Each structure stands twice: as structure tokens, then as C-alpha cells.
């Protein structure tokens, strides 16, 4: 039981962390609440399904193609749709919801509402402490850790990363320092949807695909970023661990747990932000930064 | 002069002086009259059903606007008020046998309490944090609803509630006037001092507080008022569709109400009502009936319409129209038709 909770908790925390970091990045740099974030994750999963299972391409190749397509779609929709209305906060929300709904409906039309599944990248499993752990779960967790490390290194060690963080801190001053702010935003959007697409590729073999699969992770990453503090990367990571484990504890321990998992996770989020309104690692007076 | 004649002349004067001077108000009056006499032209149950649901959602969207549009406390979980009231009305009706005229007000009061429960903890939060915190409430309740199927009906919801009335036309004549009256009340609230304070809280809360306004109290008032109207809509909905199900608490409904309100134009009250009255019949009736769109494509078209309209009118449909057809007198701050040279009241030059 305990080992089961740890394995599933780590996998779902990893996925939430990957999604939440991407969501935080675009929120931090462009101040956009991208409610279509998990729709891109779903789009990637479906693209892999259609390329690998329907068109019969190699699985690795189809994953790469899917990620590229999602990045292109994401940046185009940012440039054409979101960037044009970003000064109206409420309108930005609606535009991103509309994008998510369009993706959902397009997938519903193309694939129907029935569940789909794709083969695992590496099959097989190993028994640890009496729990069957799929190799795919190992792979998922490993890739998540590698990607989070890479993102962190990019942000802290490279010139673009510094420019990106500068833009997040103060757009106007960053602009004055010669940073091309719109290009930084495009880069961030590409990174953000890219991370979402990779998360989709990692989740797709472990679960079934339905056109409604974006809603639950969206709620969870909103809770994660608020719990950890908006715009804070280590906050997103810790928040993802807390909520991912909370969900799996409830599923395995509580009666009718799969109904209550979201309730419990969201209650934890509420309690934390009622005690610390800026989240665990958030910056106080966050809205006073430009 | 006899009293009725005096009243009629006064009403006509009011109409000429306050309503016909602005095309927007004339349109509102015409739409209201048209909705009220609609059953004379057609009593097709399906059309009436679409219009009734549109009216219920119009109350709901306007109540979101009262809270989020005016005070700027973006509420991502507005479905909570709707769902709480719908479930309360349904439970009271099924278990205690109370009639709709009792269950709907009690449901609305429960929604006010829900407004307090959400509002008090959320007073410490701002902006994005507030939005995401409010998102959590209906979803937490939804999980509880699924976990206790014996009381809540689980996924199927509570079925077999008493209808508002046996005949659909009578239901129509209960709900449409309620929508008009409640919409007018909300507009009056926002047009009063309270509305002015709500505006002030949205624009700059610190300044509002510095001006001696107890912003905490007004924010709570906004949550309660919004809960009240949304609760009435929820109760009407439960009794009209004769069921209260999980769809009244879902994320989709919370998002839907924001879509309607922003599409219509926020911080106006009439904007969200117009948004629902345009979008809901369009997607539910016009597209499927006249343009023969397959019903699965209707959400897709809905999303495209919203996207296109907002790209060109980022502040919403009615706000865009209002800015095109009206301007505000620089001296007395009254609305004037854009093509007038002088203000209709104080004759100041309009720029």
C-alpha cells in the first residue's frame, strides 16, 4: 500500500510539476493565465496516438513530430490570438478557454468521445517491495527530473534564461536593457507548450485518452501554482509533490477516494493560501511588480 | 385631471426623456417587450424552452458581473452559487415537499450563505490568487456530491422535482418577467452609490479605503448580492428542468458564465444579459435548426464566434457598441447619443 502510494504519487507529482512549471513560466513572463495549457498537453497525446497507432509511424518519431506540431500550434495561437488581447485580463481568460474548447471539440470530432490508448515506450515491469512498477513509470519520472533540471539550468545559467527572468521581473526595464521582450515571450510560450507536450507524451502511455482529459490536470496545476506561489519554480515543484501525494493518499486510503481526491487536494490548497495568501514561495505584493 | 391619466402622462414623459433619447435604452425596451409578447407568435415548446433557459442563465451571468465585473474580484467558481441553490431547492422539494415558491427563496438564501463562506476567507486574497481559490469551492462540493450518492443522487443528480407550473407558457411568464425585474434591480444597484463604490474597489482598493470606505464590508456585500441572484437563477433552473445534477457545479458552467459575461461586456449588467440572450439561442436553436449544423459542432462554432468577436471587440460586444453610439457629457456625466452636438440636459458642448 505505502509503496503503491509512493510510486503513483511520484508519477502524478512529476506530471503536475512539469505542467505547472510551464504554466508558471508563461504567467511569470507574459502575465497570461493560459487556461489552454493542458489542452496542448491533450493535443500532444492525441497527435502521438494518431501518428503512432493510426498512421503507423515509429513511436519515437511520432512523439517528436507531435511535440514540434504542438509547439508550432501553441506559438501561433499565442501570436495571433492571445497576444492581441493580453491587456484585457478577463478577455485573455476567455480567449484561452476558447482555444481549449476548440482543441477539445476538434479532437471530439476527429476521434470521437471513446477512450483511446497508445503503446508504452518501454514495456515490462519490475517488482519493488511487492509493488509492480512499470518501466514506463520509471521513464516518466526520470524524464520529468531531467527536464526540470534542464529548465532550471536554462533559467539560471544561460544568457537567454537571465533575459527571461529579467523580463518576468520587470518588462519595462528589461526592454530598456535591450532585451527583445516580445521575442522573449514567444520563446517562453514555446518552452511552456513544449513542456506541456512532453508531459502529454509521458502521460499518454500510462492512461487512457479522452477529449475531456484536460480539465482535471488544469484544475490541479492551478492549485499547484497557487499553493507554491505564482511565478516561483521551486514552489511549483513542492506544490506538485504535495498535491500529487495528497491525491494518491486519498485514492488508496479513503472510501470512495477517487471522487474525493480533487476535493481533498483543493482543500489543502485553500488552507495553505488562507494561512499564507502569497503561497509557499510566492512573492508578497506580487501584483506590484510591473 | 384624473389620477390614471396623470400616471400615463408621467410614464410617457419618462419614456421620452430617459428611454427614447438613447438608442441603447430603446433597444432594451424593445427586446423586453418582444420577449414578453413572444408566446403570441409561437408557442413551440422547444423555442420557449431555449428562451427560458437563456433567461435563467442571463440572471446568472449578470450576477457574475455584479461581483466580478464591478468589484474586480474575478470569481472562477460562480457555479457554486448556482449549484448550491439548485441542490438546496431540489432537496427541500423532494424530502420536505415544499413548493417552488418556498424552495427557490430558501435556495437563494443558502447561496447567500455560500457567498459569505467563500467571501470571508477570500478577503485576504487578491487577483489571480482569488480567482484560483474561488475555483476550488464548487469542485470541492462536486467531489462531496459524488461521494454521497444516497443523498445527492450522485452522477445522475436529483430527478423528479416539481415543475414550476404544468404549462410551459406559464413557466415562461414566470421566468421572463423575473429576468427583467432582477436584471433591472441589479442595474439599479450598480447605478447607485453602492455600484460607485464597487467601481472604486475595482479601480483602486487602497484609494477607496483611504477615502473612508470599508472595502471589506462592500466586498462581502458584493459576494452576498451576487450569491443571492445566482441562487435565484439556480433555484429556477432546478424547478424548470425538474432536476439538479452535477452539471450545475461543474467547471464548465463556471467558465461558461465568464464567457457569456465577457462576450457581452463586463461591468455593465446589461452586457452579460445581452451576451446570454444572443449566444444561448444562437448555439442551441439557430445553428441546429436553420443552418443545420451537426450538434457536435455547435460548441466548436460557439468557441470560434466568441474568439472572433473578442479579437475585434476586446471589451465585449455591448461595451463596443456603447462606445460607438454614445458619449458622456464632459460637464454633467450623462450619456448622450454620439451624433449630438450638445448635451441633452445641460447643453454643454460635446467634444
Q: Where are the domains of chain A?
A: 2-288
| Residues sharing a CB contact under 8 Å with residue B99, sequence separation 6 or more, in sequence order | B93, B162
Profile chain B (351 residues) by mean pLDDT over runs of 10 residues.
84 85 89 92 90 96 94 91 95 92 94 93 84 91 90 87 89 94 94 92 91 92 95 95 92 91 90 94 79 72 88 90 87 83 82 71
Lowest mean pLDDT among A92-96, A167-171, A281-285, B179-183: A281-285
* Mean predicted confidence (pLDDT) in A247-254: 88
The pLDDT of residue A205 is 86
pLDDT digits (tens, 9 = 90+) for A95-124: 999 999 999 989 988 888 888 888 777 777
From the list A85, A109, A274, the residue facing B314 with the nearest CB is A85
Report DSSP letters for A218-287, one per residue.
HHHHHHHHHHH-TT-HHHHHHHHHHHHHHHHHHHHHSTTHHHHHHHHHHHHHHHHHHHSTT-SSPPTTGG
Q: Which tens digits make up the pLDDT trace of A30-43?
A: 888 899 999 999 99
Strand partners, B328: B335
Contact between B129 and A90 using a beta-carbon 8 Å cutoff: no
pLDDT (0 to 100) of residue A68: 96
Closest residue to A215, CB basis, from B128, B251, B315 = B251
What pLDDT sits at residue A287?
A: 45
* Stretch 235-254 of chain B: residues touching chain A, C-beta under 8 Å: 251-252
Provide the pLDDT for residue B295. Answer: 66
Does residue A87 register a pLDDT over 90?
no
pLDDT of residue A289: 42
What does the pLDDT read at residue A246?
92
Domain boundaries, given as residue ranges, for chain B: 42-315, 326-351
| Gyration radius (Cα) of chain B, Å | 21
Decide if A97 and B304 are in contact by the 8 Å CB cutoff. no
Determine whether the interchain pair A93/B262 forms a contact, defined as Cβ–Cβ distance below 8 Å.
yes
DSSP state of B161: P
pTM for the model = 0.90
Cβ contact, residue pair B124, A279, below 8 Å: no
A51-79 pLDDT per residue, tens: 988 777 888 899 999 999 999 999 999 99
Determine the Cα–Cα distance for residues B211 and B41; give it in Å rounded to an integer: 54
Query: What is the CATH code of the structural domain delimited by B42-315?
Result: 1.10.3470
A2-288 has which fold?
Answer: ABC transporter involved in vitamin B12 uptake, BtuC (1.10.3470)
Strand, helix or coil at B337?
strand
pLDDT of residue A288: 42
Share of chain A above pLDDT 70, in %: 97
B300 touches chain A (CB under 8 A): yes
**At a CB cut-off of 8 Å and minimum separation 6, what does B249 contact?**
B79, B80, B82, B83, B138, B139, B141, B142, B145
ipTM above 0.95, yes or no: no
Average pLDDT over residues A203-223: 90
Amino acid at each position: 500500500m505505502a509503496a503503491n502510494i509512493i510510486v503513483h504519487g511520484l508519477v502524478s507529482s512529476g506530471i503536475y510539476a512539469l505542467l505547472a512549471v510551464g504554466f508558471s513560466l508563461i504567467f511569470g513572463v507574459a502575465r497570461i493565465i493560459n487556461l489552454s495549457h493542458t489542452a496542448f498537453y491533450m493535443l500532444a497525446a492525441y497527435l502521438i496516438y494518431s501518428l503512432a497507432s493510426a498512421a503507423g509511424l515509429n513511436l519515437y518519431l511520432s512523439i517528436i513530430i507531435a511535440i514540434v506540431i504542438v509547439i508550432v500550434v501553441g506559438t501561433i495561437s499565442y501570436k495571433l490570438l492571445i497576444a492581441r488581447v493580453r491587456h484585457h485580463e478577463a478577455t485573455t481568460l476567455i480567449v484561452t478557454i476558447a482555444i481549449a474548447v476548440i482543441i477539445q471539440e476538434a479532437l471530439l470530432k476527429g476521434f470521437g468521445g471513446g477512450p483511446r490508448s497508445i503503446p508504452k515506450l518501454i514495456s515490462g515491469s519490475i517488482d519493488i517491495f511487492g509493488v509492480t512498477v512499470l518501466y514506463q513509470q520509471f521513464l516518466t519520472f526520470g524524464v520529468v527530473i531531467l527536464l526540470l533540471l534542464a529548465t532550471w539550468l536554462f533559467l539560471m545559467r544561460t544568457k537567454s534564461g537571465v533575459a527571461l527572468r529579467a523580463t518576468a521581473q520587470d518588462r519595462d526595464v528589461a526592454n530598456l536593457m535591450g532585451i527583445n521582450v516580445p521575442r522573449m515571450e514567444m520563446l517562453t510560450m514555446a518552452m511552456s507548450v513544449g513542456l506541456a507536450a512532453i508531459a502529454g507524451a509521458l502521460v499518454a502511455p500510462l492512461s487512457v485518452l479522452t477529449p475531456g482529459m484536460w480539465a482535471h490536470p488544469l484544475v490541479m496545476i492551478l492549485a499547484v501554482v497557487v499553493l507554491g506561489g505564482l511565478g516561483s519554480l521551486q514552489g511549483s515543484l513542492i506544490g506538485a509533490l504535495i498535491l500529487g501525494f495528497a491525491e494518491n493518499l486519498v485514492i488508496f486510503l479513503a472510501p470512495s477516494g477517487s471522487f474525493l481526491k480533487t476535493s481533498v487536494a483543493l482543500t489543502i490548497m485553500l488552507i495553505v493560501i488562507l494561512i499564507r495568501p502569497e503561497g509557499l514561495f510566492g512573492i508578497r505584493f506580487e501584483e506590484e511588480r510591473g | 385631471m384624473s389620477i390614471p391619466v396623470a400616471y400615463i402622462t408621467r410614464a410617457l414623459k419618462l419614456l421620452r426623456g430617459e428611454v427614447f433619447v438613447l438608442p441603447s435604452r430603446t433597444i432594451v425596451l424593445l427586446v423586453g417587450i418582444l420577449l414578453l409578447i413572444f408566446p403570441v407568435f409561437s408557442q413551440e415548446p422547444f423555442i420557449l424552452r431555449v428562451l427560458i433557459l437563456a433567461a435563467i442563465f442571463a440572471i446568472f451571468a449578470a450576477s457574475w458581473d455584479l461581483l466580478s465585473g464591478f468589484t474586480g474580484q474575478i470569481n472562477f467558481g460562480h457555479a457554486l452559487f448556482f449549484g448550491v441553490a439548485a441542490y438546496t431547492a431540489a432537496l427541500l422539494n423532494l424530502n420536505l415537499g415544499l413548493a417552488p415558491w418556498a424552495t427557490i427563496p430558501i435556495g437563494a438564501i443558502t447561496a447567500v450563505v455560500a457567498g459569505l463562506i467563500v467571501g470571508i476567507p477570500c478577503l485576504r486574497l487578491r487577483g489571480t490568487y482569488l480567482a484560483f481559490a474561488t475555483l476550488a469551492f464548487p469542485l470541492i462540493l462536486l467531489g462531496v456530491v459524488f461521494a454521497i450518492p444516497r443523498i445527492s443522487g450522485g452522477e445522475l443528480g436529483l430527478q423528479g422535482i416539481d415543475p414550476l407550473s404544468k404549462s410551459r407558457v406559464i413557466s415562461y411568464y414566470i421566468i421572463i418577467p423575473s429576468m427583467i425585474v432582477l436584471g433591472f434591480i441589479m442595474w439599479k444597484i450598480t447605478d447607485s452609490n453602492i455600484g460607485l463604490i464597487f467601481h472604486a474597489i475595482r479601480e483602486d482598493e487602497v484609494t477607496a479605503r483611504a477615502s473612508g470606505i470599508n472595502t471589506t464590508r462592500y466586498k462581502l456585500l458584493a459576494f452576498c448580492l451576487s450569491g443571492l441572484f445566482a441562487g435565484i437563477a439556480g433555484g429556477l433552473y432546478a424547478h424548470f428542468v425538474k432536476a439538479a445534477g452535477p452539471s450545475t457545479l461543474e467547471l464548465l458552467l463556471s467558465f461558461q458564465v465568464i464567457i457569456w459575461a465577457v462576450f457581452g461586456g463586463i461591468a455593465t449588467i446589461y452586457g452579460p444579459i445581452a451576451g446570454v440572450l444572443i449566444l444561448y439561442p444562437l448555439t442551441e436553436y439557430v445553428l441546429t435548426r436553420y443552418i443545420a449544423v451537426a450538434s457536435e459542432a455547435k460548441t466548436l462554432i460557439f468557441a470560434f464566434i466568441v474568439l472572433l468577436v473578442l479579437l475585434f471587440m476586446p471589451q465585449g460586444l455591448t461595451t463596443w457598441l456603447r462606445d460607438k453610439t454614445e458619449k458622456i457629457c464632459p460637464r454633467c456625466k450623462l450619456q448622450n447619443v454620439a451624433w449630438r452636438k450638445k448635451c441633452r440636459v445641460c447643453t454643454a458642448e460635446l467634444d
